[in-house]
Amino acid sequence: MYETHKDKVEFLMVYIKEAHASDGRVSQGNVRQGINIRKHTSYEDREEVAKTACSLLKIEFPAIVDSMDDKASNAYGAAPDRIYVVDKDGKVAVQADRGPWGFKPGVEATKKWLETYASQSKAKN
């Protein structure tokens, strides 16, 4: 999706607090995969985990890190993950349900929106 549309829209990932920290609400999936992320005690901790996650997951688009007061996560109801598309006028065009159950449908809704947006952009040119 990013490769196809990166020249038309801006992609951004916001890394938020760890939903299943190993010293908190542990995910058995994380245990099985050997993922051991402790609660972030500083912005630098959160930033380091975000860098590692982006590298391991091969995320190619820009990522930013939510503040320690979780301002972005709280504003968008992002925990544990969520997909939003904000159009050029600043309006929410796609608001997926919270993950993990809302993630795949959110990706599909985003693809559909991007296809529509791309066809509208071509029609204007």
> Tens-digit pLDDT profile for the chain (125 aa)?
899 999 889 999 999 988 777 887 777 777 777 777 888 899 999 999 999 889 988 999 999 999 999 999 999 988 778 899 999 899 999 999 987 888 899 999 999 999 998 777 666 65
Q: pTM for the full model?
A: 0.79
Residue 106 lies in a domain: yes
User: In angstroms, what is the C-alpha Rg of the chain?
Assistant: 16
Query: What are the DSSP E strand ranges found in 1-125?
Result: 13-15, 63-65, 84-86, 92-95
Domain range for 97: 81-125
Same domain, 69 and 59: yes
- Strands 84-86 vs 63-65: parallel, antiparallel or unpaired: unpaired
Same domain, 60 and 47: yes
Same domain, 94 and 67: no
Q: How many structural domains does the chain have? A: 2
